[in-house]
Amino acid sequence: MPGQQRDTERDFDAVIVGAGLAGLYMLHRLRGMGFSTRVFETGTAIGGTWFWNRYPGARCDIESLEYSYQFSDEIQQEWEWTERFASQPEILSYINHVADRFDLHGNIQLETRVEQARFDEAENRWAIRTNAGHEYRARFCIMATGCLSCRNTPDFKGLESFQGESYHTGDWPHEGVDFHSKRVGVIGTGSSAVQSIPIIAEEAEHLTVFQRTANYSVPAQNKPLDPAVQSRIKADYAGFRERNSNSFFGTLGDFENAGPSAKAISPEERDRFYEAAWKRGGVPFLNTFDDLMIDKESNDTAVDFICHKIREIVDDPEVAERLIPRQTFGCKRLCVDTDYFSTFNRPNVSLVDVSENAIEEVTPSGLKLADGDDFALDAIVLATGFDAMTGALLAIDPHGKSGVTLSEKWSEGPQTYLGLAVSGFPNLFTITGPGSPSVLSNMVPSIEQHANWIADCLGYLHETGHERIEATRAAETAWVAHVNEVANGTLYPKCHSWYVGTNVPGKTRVFMPYLGYAPYVEKCNEVAANGYEGFELSR
């Protein structure tokens, strides 16, 4: 607890793992409360997602004025966003600006990967070991390791033998990559690919896109941010944040709700709403009608609209058919693009379907498919995503009570109480852990909500003289059941996606995020107000 640390270089009130948006704000809160705190970060600098993902076209798809911290009105007022959806360099500058303003750097140890964390039951402290072989101790261990930070690199035979250059979108070279006069292959057609493909296509001599699953994408309609719009929002930023936080996803964006059901109106009227949502751009397309992610027939109306758009945009009907997604709309993360589908009209771009004819191996000179077709390439871009939500936590694989590891505990999929804590792992917290709205919300408010909840909880433990907090098994079981029940009432878990972990071979199929930001926040507040209901507190 504040002031109780022993060896100030090795023993802390709290250790935070990760220096992205979550770790930084958590540090700010705990330091403000007088807790000795150390952040460990693998990267050579802070920023998390926005430090690592520097691929061409990387940007957020939640509006910049929403995808930002709200804890400091000063920062909120002084930071001027330049685009509707901020680019990676701008978000990274913003994060650094916040860290500089609050003087956070001194408590962050960079280039340090946490490799192991063990709970010492006699001492009620975590022992945390880093890649340098050093051990640190802390009363509390807070995992701010990110939902989308553990890269998924498929185990392609021969990948190391490739004589050209290969890159993962989630670990992009800081100096950038020049694709001029290169034959480039992009593997994947998720959000990272959809953002980078149009830009790589402009540079490359030839770009081949290897697509396993066609994806739905709607235009971003990104544009410079109108200063008048920015000033209007800043004039009542608190009200703007409040309205967003009362919404289902914790974000509203530029959005018009067309009613409870896509089936309740005529096809012509419905298409007018879809057309308006398409022109406004962005993920709020998903919210056009309330039942799009609940009722398959309604969902199919969005499918029809988008497929019609793809056929309209793409000149070659055969290519258009290959780009038409076959799965339920929205059950894979909706992509948001700038000129994605029209890129396939370029003469230097080709699309290869690897759904049936899989990538068999990487050869020294390119890629070979199962049927023996091969492609000569100078560069390969792995836009193959992440071992989402659990990957970074299981890479550390904390040892809880009686030495039980998190991977043992989660052998049938993640089990948490509120996505914040795990029974059997006292004094361990996860920011935006599985079972919380996280990736199905605007992540920045979700991060702040979790960090605030954890900080308040630690303050409460300190005031009430408790040294240990642990989620009860009963509360956890009930929460996991509730997360599943809510998800199963929707179409979200219906297809193959990283939401259910099926993008990583061998991962248990479980729908991981919690659906419903506003009800979730209410539940967390209730738990705290009831003296941390569902947790066991001890001295």
Q: Which residues bind ligand FAD (CB under 6 A)?
A: 17-23, 40-43, 48-49, 51, 53, 58, 60-62, 67, 113-114, 144-149, 192, 392, 395-396, 431-432, 442-443, 447
Separation of first and last alpha carbons in the chain: 12
Q: List the one residue from 39, 95, 349, 359 that touches ligand N01 (CB under 6 A).
A: 359
Please, which residue, 54 or 183, has the CB nearer to ligand FAD? 54
Nearest Cα residue to 298 out of 246, 247, 260? 260
Instruction: Answer with the entry of ligand FAD, ligand N01, none that 190 interacts with (C-beta below 5 to 8 A by kind).
Output: ligand N01
Q: List the one residue from 384, 390, 427, 432 that touches ligand N01 (CB under 6 A).
A: 384
Residue carrying structure tokens 């007022």: 77
* Residue nearest ligand N01 (C-beta atom): 190
Report yes or no: 217 and 412 within 8 Å, Cβ to Cβ. Answer: no
Instruction: Answer with the entry of ligand FAD, ligand N01, none that 17 interacts with (C-beta below 5 to 8 A by kind).
Output: ligand FAD
Q: Which of residues 61-80 bind ligand N01 (CB under 6 A)?
A: 61
Longest Cα separation, the chain: 70
Residue carrying structure tokens 């290169």: 182
Instruction: Answer with the entry of ligand N01, ligand FAD, none that 41 interacts with (C-beta below 5 to 8 A by kind).
Output: ligand FAD
Question: Which residues share a beta bridge with 170?
Answer: none
Residue carrying structure tokens 């056009």: 288
Q: Is 249 in the site for ligand N01 (CB under 6 A)?
A: no
Q: Report the alpha-carbon distance of residue 237 to residue 202 in Å, rounded.
A: 39
Report yes or no: 426 and 124 within 8 Å, Cβ to Cβ. Answer: yes
Instruction: Answer with the entry of ligand FAD, ligand N01, none that 420 interacts with (C-beta below 5 to 8 A by kind).
Output: none
Q: Is 470 in the site for ligand N01 (CB under 6 A)?
A: no
Q: Is 383 in the site for ligand N01 (CB under 6 A)?
A: yes
What single string gives the DSSP state of each residue in 195-220? HHHHHHHHHBSEEEEEESS---EEE-
Least distance to ligand FAD, CB of residue 530, Å: 27
Least distance to ligand N01, CB of residue 55, Å: 8
Least distance to ligand FAD, CB of residue 114, Å: 4
Instruction: Answer with the entry of ligand FAD, ligand N01, none that 442 interacts with (C-beta below 5 to 8 A by kind).
Output: ligand FAD
Please, which residue, 60 or 362, has the CB nearer to ligand FAD? 60
Q: Report the alpha-carbon distance of residue 83 to residue 63 in Å, rounded.
A: 9
Q: Is 423 in the site for ligand N01 (CB under 6 A)?
A: no
Q: Which of residues 184-223 bind ligand N01 (CB under 6 A)?
A: 187-193, 195, 210, 212-213
Please, which residue, 112 or 436, has the CB nearer to ligand N01? 436
Instruction: Answer with the entry of ligand N01, ligand FAD, none that 433 interacts with (C-beta below 5 to 8 A by kind).
Output: none
> In this structure, how many other beta carbons lie within 10 angstroms of the beta carbon of residue 260?
12
Cα-based distances in Å from 424 to 303, 469, 478: 44, 10, 16
**Backbone phi and psi for residue 133, each to the nearest 5 degrees, phi listed first:** 85, 5
Report yes or no: 171 and 153 within 8 Å, Cβ to Cβ. Answer: no
Least distance to ligand FAD, CB of residue 464, Å: 29
DSSP 154: -
Chain centroid to CA 285: 19
> In this structure, how many other beta carbons lie within 10 angstroms of the beta carbon of residue 288?
24
Residue carrying structure tokens 């959000």: 191
Q: Report the alpha-carbon distance of residue 247 to residue 523 in Å, rounded.
A: 15
Q: Which of residues 323-352 bind ligand N01 (CB under 6 A)?
A: 333, 336
Please, which residue, 214 or 394, has the CB nearer to ligand N01? 214
Least distance to ligand N01, CB of residue 304, Å: 21
Instruction: Answer with the entry of ligand FAD, ligand N01, none that 40 interacts with (C-beta below 5 to 8 A by kind).
Output: ligand FAD
> In this structure, how many other beta carbons lie within 10 angstroms of the beta carbon of residue 322?
18
Which residues of this chain interact with ligand N01, rule CB under 6 A? 60-61, 148, 154, 169, 187-193, 195, 210, 212-213, 333, 336, 354, 359, 383-386, 439, 498, 503
